[in-house]
A and B are shown apart, each in its own frame.
Chain A
Amino acid sequence: NAGVTQTPKFQVLKTGQSMTLQCAQDMNHNSMYWYRQDPGMGLRLIYYSASEGTTDKGEVPNGYNVSRLNKREFSLRLESAAPSQTSVYFCASIWSADSNQPQHFGDGTRLSIL
């Protein structure tokens, strides 16, 4: 019953370092999403992948890149981390991007950039 697995759960970086957040789902879902959650801001969409081989920008894509490695995995990369990217990052998946079903969320990655 893994669902959506995010690694790592916690990470501290120095400004300018790079890092990749990993996300994997075992539900055979086609669509995957990356969100960031900041205090008082709710969840904001960074990037999403409606299907394997496609990626699209969300509301706050600047400073991030993504890779849909295969159907199961969707990674988020910070090339040069900045303190403004300190946040909790959530990955989510769903059977189809046009589905009306609720998204399945991972437990989050808490990232601090000093």
Chain B
Amino acid sequence: AQKVTQAQTEISVVEKEDVTLDCVYETRDTTYYLFWYKQPPSGELVFLIRRNSFDEQNEISGRYSWNFQKSTSSFNFTITASQVVDSAVYFCALKGSGNTPLVFGKGTRLSVIA
């Protein structure tokens, strides 16, 4: 069975601080895909990134970076120099191979205080 654990329920930081959101996953599939979504206060789900299991390169996009480590089954998300607009709920999700549905973690609520 697929499982995603986001142990941090809520995080609060002061603007300009760096923050890392943790994601640990479980799967028996050798091919799988990991995703991060952002849900701002307006409620919609915004796709941020997808990572394939066979590509362990870290990725940076502006202030966002992702660290994928198969050895620890983790796919962590770091926001550098956080801003108030980063305040949202962030979800990590896992899709196994074939038709297996997407499985979401419970989410981490990030509050960035000015």
Do B43 and A45 have beta carbons less than 8 Å apart?
Answer: no
Docked pose: A90 CA to B104 CA in angstroms: 13
Q: B107 — nearest CB in chain A belongs to which residue?
A: A42
Do A107 and B43 have beta carbons less than 8 Å apart?
Answer: yes
CB distance from A100 to the nearest CB of B (A): 5
A112 within 8 A of B: no
Number of A-B contacts (CB under 8 A): 46
A88 within 8 A of B: yes
- Chosen A-B contacts, 21 in total, with CB atoms closer than 8 Å, are A33-B101, A40-B106, A40-B107, A42-B6, A42-B105, A42-B106, A44-B104, A45-B101, A50-B99, A90-B45, A97-B98, A97-B99, A97-B101, A100-B95, A101-B50, A102-B47, A102-B50, A103-B102, A105-B44, A107-B44, A108-B43
8 residue pairs, one from A and one from B, having the closest CB atoms? A42-B106, A97-B99, A102-B47, A42-B104, A105-B45, A43-B104, A100-B33, A42-B107
B positions within 8 Å CB-CB of A = 6, 9, 33, 35, 37, 43-45, 47, 50, 52, 91, 95, 97-99, 101-107
